[in-house]
């Protein structure tokens, strides 16, 4: 497509013509969502035939968040996911009308169908069991088709960057120091102790790469929409910037730890894991709770590390603080209950 708008204000009539094949008489936009690594907007377009809405996503205005995203290749991953992988998966994602990213990975544009009216997931509020079940089904819709599927897992742009991994490892102690200074007075001591120990383990060892399935990487309520298009569909999954290859149980441990609320997780943990196994089995990957348990429990540690690292390297906001504390509390509770760190250290 050539040059693309890196901000909603840069959109021109020519770009609309190129993307939509027609030009709105007028257009305006408003911010939506709570993302800290990318900025999402809703476009209100006026055509002679009547008004329409679309959704868009752009690089974060904040330079810290944008720099972190570029370093980790987050924008490039999301654009290429929508271009190359999403059409081949049953997981519900927004239909994409434009997907462009700069060569340096520091700016991008995504233009989507508008899935509203919908109910945005909110990890601070938690969710119902029905919502959690829909989330688990979507996880299986991502994992089953990609499970040991070389056509997806061998894509060159999906391969983990050794340089990025080394940067994360080097920066993690600093991230934990920021996390400690910022939240030591409000996060429960037992949870902070787990964060400290995980930081030590992370800094002292390299985890072997697993190549089992695609992994969303940030599979939590804030990246989901429920009752899509006024209830016509139950759920859609957003924000694919952290897509990677690994073990899909990382998403499940993350979702049940960080996402749904500890009370709901404790009450319905096994039921949700059984649902995941049933969905995976129906998708051609026979699994049992016993077979996935270890990977699920270790996967929950991803919620702890994400809360710590993100708190230090994206723009700080009041809601962000609440989010990271919520993530850390839920993930740490799961990890302490099931001995996640001990399992990780066993190798």
For 138-159, how does the pLDDT look when each residue is reduced to its tens digit (9 = 90+)? Answer: 999 999 999 999 999 999 999 9
Residue 36 is predicted with a pLDDT of: 67
The parts of the chain modelled with pLDDT lower than 50 are: none
d(CA 155, CA 159) in angstroms, rounded, equals: 7
Question: For 286-324, b where at least 16 C-beta lie within 10 A, e where not — what string?
Answer: ebeeeebeebbbbbbbbbbbbbbbbbbbbeeeeebeebb
Residue 62 is predicted with a pLDDT of: 83
- C-alpha torsion angle, residues 269, 271, 275, 280 (rounded to 10): 60
Could you state, in order of their start, the residue ranges of all structural domains in the chain?
8-113, 119-346
Environment class of 82 (CB within 10 Å of its CB; exposed 0-12, middle 13-18, buried 19+): buried
Residue 2 is predicted with a pLDDT of: 58
In the chain the beta strands, taken as DSSP E runs, fall at: 26-32, 38-47, 50-59, 96-101, 108-113, 119-120, 213-215, 224-227, 233-237, 244-246
d(CA 181, CA 222) in angstroms, rounded, equals: 26
d(CA 265, CA 87) in angstroms, rounded, equals: 32
Residue 167 is predicted with a pLDDT of: 80
CATH fold group of domain 119-346: Aminoglycoside 3'-phosphotransferase; Chain: A, domain 2 (3.90.1200)
Quick check: pTM over 0.85? yes
Residue 15 is predicted with a pLDDT of: 97
- The tokens for 323 are 């989010």
Q: Report how far apart the first and last C-alpha atoms of the chain are (Å, whole number).
A: 47
Query: Does 3.40.710.10 match the CATH number of domain 8-113?
Result: no
């Amino acid at each position: 497509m050539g040059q693309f708008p890196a901000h909603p204000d840069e959109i021109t009539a020519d770009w609309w013509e190129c993307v939509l094949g027609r030009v709105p008489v007028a257009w305006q936009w408003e911010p939506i969502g709570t993302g800290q690594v990318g900025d999402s907007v809703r476009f209100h377009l006026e055509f002679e035939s009547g008004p329409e809405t679309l959704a868009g996503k752009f690089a974060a205005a904040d330079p810290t968040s944008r720099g972190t995203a570029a370093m980790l290749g987050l924008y490039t991953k999301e654009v290429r996911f929508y271009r190359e992988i999403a059409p081949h998966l049953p997981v519900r994602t927004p239909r994409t009308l434009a997907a462009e990213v700069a060569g340096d990975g520091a700016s991008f544009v995504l233009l989507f169908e508008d899935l509203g009216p919908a109910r945005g997931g909110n990890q601070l509020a938690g969710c119902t069991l029905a919502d959690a079940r829909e989330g688990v089904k979507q996880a299986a819709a991502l994992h089953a088709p990609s499970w040991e599927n070389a056509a997806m897992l061998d894509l060159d742009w999906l391969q983990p960057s050794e340089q990025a991994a080394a940067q994360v490892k080097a920066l993690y102690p600093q991230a934990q120091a920021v996390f400690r200074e910022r939240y030591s007075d409000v996060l429960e001591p037992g949870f902070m102790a787990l964060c400290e120990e995980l930081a030590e383990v992370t800094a002292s060892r390299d985890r072997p790469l697993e190549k089992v399935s695609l992994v969303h990487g940030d599979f939590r309520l804030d990246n989901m929409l429920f009752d899509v298009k006024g209830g016509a569909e139950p759920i859609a999954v957003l924000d694919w910037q952290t897509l990677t290859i690994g073990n899909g149980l990382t998403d499940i441990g993350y979702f049940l730890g960080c996402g749904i609320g500890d009370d709901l997780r404790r009450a319905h943990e096994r039921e949700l894991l059984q649902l995941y196994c049933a969905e995976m089995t129906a998708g051609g990957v026979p699994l049992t709770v016993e077979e996935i348990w270890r990977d699920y429990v270790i996967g929950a540690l991803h919620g702890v590390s994400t809360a710590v690292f993100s708190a230090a390297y994206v723009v700080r906001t009041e809601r962000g603080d609440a989010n990271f504390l919520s993530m850390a509390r839920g993930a740490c509770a799961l990890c302490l209950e099931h001995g996640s760190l001990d399992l990780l250290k066993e190798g």
